A and B are shown apart, each in its own frame.
Chain A
Amino acid sequence: MIVAFSILLPFIAAACIPFIYRRFKNIHLGWFVLVVPALLFTVLATYIPRIANGETFSKTFEWIPSFGINITTYLDGLSIIFSLLITGVGSLVILYSIFYLSTKESLHHFYCYLLLFMGAMLGVVLSDNLMVLYVFWELTSVSSFLLIAFWHHRKASRAGARKAMLITVSGGVAMLAGFLMLYVVSGTFSIREIIANLDIVQSSNLFIPAMCLVLLGAFTKSAQFPFHIWLPDAMEAPTPVSAYLHSATMVKAGIYLVARMTPIFGGHEVWFWAVSGVGIVTLFWGSFNAVRQFDLKALLAYSTISQLGLIMSLFGLGSAALHLGYSTQSVIYTQATFAALFHLINHSTFKGALFMMVGIVDHEVGTRDIRRLGGLMSLMPFTFTIAVIGSFSMAGLPPFNGFLSKEMFFMATVKITQLDIFSLDSVGLLFPIVAWIASVFTFIYCVIIVMRTFFGKIQPDRLEKPPHEAPIGMLIPPYILIGLVVGIFMFPNILGHYILRPAMASIYPTFPSTDEMTPHISAWHGYINTELIMTIGVVIVGVFLYRTLKKWRPMYQIFPQKYSFNSIYERVISSSEYRSDQVTKRYMNGNLTYYFIYIYVFFVVVLAGYMVYADVFSWDPSKDSVIEPYELILVFVMIFATLAILFAKQRITIVLLNGVLGYSVAFFFVVFRAPDLALTQLVVESITTALFLLSFKFLPKLTKEKVSKTFKFTKITISIAVGATVTFIGLAVMNYDEFEPISAYFEDSYNLAGGKNIVNTILGDFRAFDTMLEVVVLFIAGLGVYTLIKLKAKKGDADVESK
């Protein structure tokens, strides 16, 4: 119940914001908002002891029970980690934003979006139902879109928001397809029930497609290679948003999804390689590109990408244990997952602090460009402390928590090379090598953050404001975070025991004991092991490369900007826009004749094509009635008249020839025993001809059509094809007499309707509805004619009549 309430509370609060904003104009809105995450954090934290004992909490509220879509909240070890991160970092970020954003900004929008996001994010991590998870997932995309474009008067903000939206929503829709496949296979949307029926799911043909689609959703959301391009552009958002969404919470939704889905897909080779492979590539690519950035926020964005790749690859490596099944040997590989969860928390602490640090620098100095910064150490000592602790934790140095998780990461990559499944024995060595290289780059950019911002010479003339220390309120939240950075290093096992251990049970539900999977984290193992040597190597090589940065920096120019993923994305977008425009312009040319041609060609192709395909053409003249000579004459008159219309030069000829046609049709009606039709046809044809003649003087002169020979040829071909199709269908239909006609019934009209004229009884009695509506048609046409003639153009419109 309380869990459902914690999802709902942010939404309720968001709805209340406009009222509070109007009521309390002179108090910063953030103070009211701060209550929400702080309260939720406290409430959720009370669950920790019970969850550490292995309890889980779930509650179902019916939503669309007929489709199996119910709002099922589920709180276990994995979701509590995320919900504590969301509410905890959320509180700090809101506290920070109170000092970061002035009351001149449209704060009610900002906090409304932020609360929406928070609620959606809590919904993602606390939902057991896949459909509900998807709903909240898209809500995070939408609220993130709104937050990125918070300063919507800037072009870059709008572009960044659009890009993030497009990429994450595309992935979200792919994920939805994956979820539906899971539902088709398992018959349930509940994640726990799917895990319970795992054999059915794994033996299905849809297993691999569902896995790939779900992964696509996770990779786009978590900015994995090559979908990482939206994250650096999303840095146009206000810094609190970057700190919250794009480092601690939203980008981890994909990680959460991977962790949540590991019990379902984890044992499979494709999953292992996709998750760990993409993760390790992202790790390298992000760290490699972070070094070349000049904007501190862009640098942090790439570092986030890289760290997310690290976590992702660890989840992939950890899934190997599921393939092996439970044994004392395989438990070693679960420690990769443990490391992933551990680093997840560590990353949220130090990256949140670093973003806040950048925000302070930006706020107090007016720029984030490292080429203009420098020498701020003595002026902003507190900010400097944050930067040092955050960066060195990110680089993986003691005595900070990043060191512990980095060591565990190295250990996992080294251990994985000893496996001989999934052809790891041949290529498995790449994992520790790439991880090590990426760590070197990580070290370099971490040093860049500290050295370029706080050391060296200050350049006051290139700064927009005179630098000074930030207000205390802005410093409190990052200090809490770096306090955690150091605190987790000192007492990592509290975290490991109480929070990470139950989460391991969620990821490995089939494994009997979680105690074995929870290693004792220690900073110093008492001996020199491989990981420590690797870390020392990172530091030595990193320092060397940082010193020589100027020499090898031009290396980045080798890869031309033209082939970056960003420009490929831009080109794909603009070229598809251009192409679709071209295609549309090509066939939608606004010329009626062309549209008629499309329709006729479609008609001929479908009908004639079907006749040829099904071979239904048949012609049997034996049942035909005899041809009398006068009928033959009538037929030839009609053929002559129609063909003559084509060659008529004057409109009067056409009108008269049409009259000839009409009267011939009337004669046919006489010949074929239809007196009513003959009468009507004669009258109607007379009136039509009279109408044509009446309007004769107002209508344009018939001009000779100036068309090219080929176009004329096309027209002739199409006309003949249409005529032939109709003829052949008609001939084929003539031979079809499967059923008796129902006219025998109408022949009893005298008894049934009291009339002797069968046609008239049908019109007036048996099928009088047709007649009534036909009268309506005539009436409407009369009204239309009247209005068209009588009503003049409105004032201001061009009126040709008066000219």
Chain B
Amino acid sequence: MESLMIVLVGILVAVATYLVLSRSVLRVIMGTAILSHAVHLLLLTVGGLKKGSVPILGQAAAPYTDALPQALILTAIVISFAVTAFLLVLAYRMYLMNGSDDFQELGGSPDE
């Protein structure tokens, strides 16, 4: 399962990279969202999968699944959510101000 998950992560990363390299802002934001999914899954996978029960004491017998990666992922989910929300509003504002969402058009003028 772990190997399969890592291959899945690799595919997610590849797609995220492709989207980040595109010209429209929306695609780039979507690329970052997919990238964060990939990273969360990767964190979970390298912590070890299905090695124990749910990490809540008393609910099941030991051994428990490693709880530390879960805590880390929880933090990361919230942060990436905050960043995505901010980026989305930033894109909205940028589109309002510049009337374009194309990086090629928004790029610095060639004489600077």
User: A: which residues have CB within 8 A of B?
Assistant: 585, 589-593, 596-597, 600, 619, 621, 623-627, 631-632, 635, 638-639, 642-643, 645-646, 651, 654, 658, 661-662, 665, 668-669, 672-677, 680-681, 684, 687-688, 691-692, 695, 698-700, 702-703, 705, 707, 715-716, 718-720, 722-724, 726-727, 730-731, 733-734, 741-743, 746-747, 749-750, 756-759, 762-763, 767, 770-771, 774, 777-778, 780-782, 784-785, 788-789, 793, 798, 800-801
Cα–Cα distance between A606 and B51 once the two chains are bound (Å): 33
Identify whether the interface residues of A are mostly helix, strand, loop, or mixed.
helix
A734 with B3: CB separation less than 8 A = yes
A699 with B34: CB separation less than 8 A = no
Give 20 A-B pairs besides A674-B55, A770-B71 with Cβ atoms closer than 8 angstroms: A631-B1, A635-B8, A639-B8, A639-B11, A658-B30, A665-B41, A672-B65, A673-B52, A674-B54, A677-B74, A705-B22, A722-B14, A734-B2, A734-B6, A747-B64, A758-B57, A770-B75, A778-B78, A778-B82, A800-B98
A681 with B8: CB separation less than 8 A = no
| Nearest-neighbor residue (CB-CB) of A716 within chain B | B18
A718 with B89: CB separation less than 8 A = no
User: B: which residues have CB within 8 A of A?
Assistant: 1-15, 17-27, 30, 33-34, 37-38, 40-42, 44-59, 62, 64-68, 70-71, 73-75, 77-79, 81-86, 88-93, 95-104, 107-110, 112
B9 with A718: CB separation less than 8 A = no
Cα–Cα distance between A771 and B38 once the two chains are bound (Å): 22
Which residues of chain A have C-beta atoms less than 8 A from B107's C-beta?
A: 589-592
**Chain A nearest Cβ from B76, distance in angstroms:** 9
Cα–Cα distance between A702 and B95 once the two chains are bound (Å): 13
Cα–Cα distance between A625 and B1 once the two chains are bound (Å): 5
A662 with B21: CB separation less than 8 A = no
Which residues of chain A have C-beta atoms less than 8 A from B82's C-beta?
A: 777-778, 780-782
B1 with A627: CB separation less than 8 A = yes
A700 with B95: CB separation less than 8 A = yes
For B62, give its contact among A669, A718, A747, A798 (CB under 8 Å): A747
For B68, give its contact among A597, A619, A680, A742 (CB under 8 Å): A742
With A743-B66, A757-B56 in contact, is A621–B22 under 8 Å at CB?
no
B50 with A625: CB separation less than 8 A = yes
B37 with A665: CB separation less than 8 A = yes
Cα–Cα distance between A702 and B44 once the two chains are bound (Å): 33
A758 with B67: CB separation less than 8 A = yes
A788 with B89: CB separation less than 8 A = yes
B18 with A646: CB separation less than 8 A = yes
A723 with B11: CB separation less than 8 A = yes
Which residues of chain A have C-beta atoms less than 8 A from B91's C-beta?
A: 699
* 15 A/B residue pairs, CB under 8 Å, sorted by A: A624-B3, A639-B11, A645-B30, A673-B50, A692-B88, A705-B22, A726-B9, A741-B66, A741-B68, A743-B64, A762-B68, A770-B75, A778-B79, A781-B86, A800-B98
| Nearest-neighbor residue (CB-CB) of B62 within chain A | A747
For A698, give its contact among B71, B78, B90, B92 (CB under 8 Å): B92
Cα–Cα distance between A723 and B41 once the two chains are bound (Å): 14
With A705-B22, A722-B17 in contact, is A675–B75 under 8 Å at CB?
no
| Nearest-neighbor residue (CB-CB) of B52 within chain A | A673
B58 with A756: CB separation less than 8 A = yes
A743 with B68: CB separation less than 8 A = yes
With A665-B37, A723-B11, A734-B6 in contact, is A743–B97 under 8 Å at CB?
no
**Chain B nearest Cβ from A770, distance in angstroms:** 5
With A673-B53, A788-B89 in contact, is A700–B26 under 8 Å at CB?
yes
**Chain B nearest Cβ from A607, distance in angstroms:** 12
A688 with B81: CB separation less than 8 A = yes
Which residues of chain B have C-beta atoms less than 8 A from A749's C-beta?
A: 57
